[in-house]
């Protein structure tokens, strides 16, 4: 009996993860940086790539795939920039704020 993934994608093979990751820290828009807080040492992985429509990028423990631009949103620019008002825990001037 085949699994649903194999039926949909005949070339698909089961993925064997080398290491299970239960948390992910990304320094959006910046370089890799390590900080120490009450939880211990945390490394925020770099995310300084310009993401455009139809992007597929792979990083150490994560990746991003974008299938393209929304044609119905009346926005011609295909560069995506998201900002937040949240402040990360710890004290580091290198993290995006």
Q: What is the 3-state secondary structure (H, E, C) of 14-61?
A: CCCCCCCCCCCCEEECCCCEEEEECCEEEEEEEECCCCCCCCEEECCC
pLDDT band, very low/low/confident/very high, at 30 (cuts 50, 70, 90): confident
pLDDT in tens, 59-91: 777 777 777 666 666 766 665 556 666 666 666
| Mean pLDDT calculated for residue range 1-10 | 56
pLDDT band, very low/low/confident/very high, at 31 (cuts 50, 70, 90): confident
pLDDT of 33 higher than 80: yes
24: which residues sit within 8 A by CB, 6+ positions away?
A: 45, 61, 62
Pairwise pLDDT comparison (63 vs 36), residue with the higher score: 36
């Amino acid at each position: 009996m085949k699994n649903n993934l194999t039926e949909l994608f005949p070339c698909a093979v089961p993925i064997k993860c080398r290491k299970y990751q239960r948390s992910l820290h990304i320094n959006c828009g910046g370089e890799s940086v390590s900080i120490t807080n009450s939880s211990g040492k945390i490394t925020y992985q770099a995310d300084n790539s310009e993401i455009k429509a139809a992007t597929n990028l792979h990083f150490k423990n994560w990746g991003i795939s974008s299938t393209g631009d929304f044609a119905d949103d009346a926005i011609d620019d295909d560069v995506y920039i998201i900002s937040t008002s949240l402040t990360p825990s710890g004290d580091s001037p290198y993290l995006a704020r």
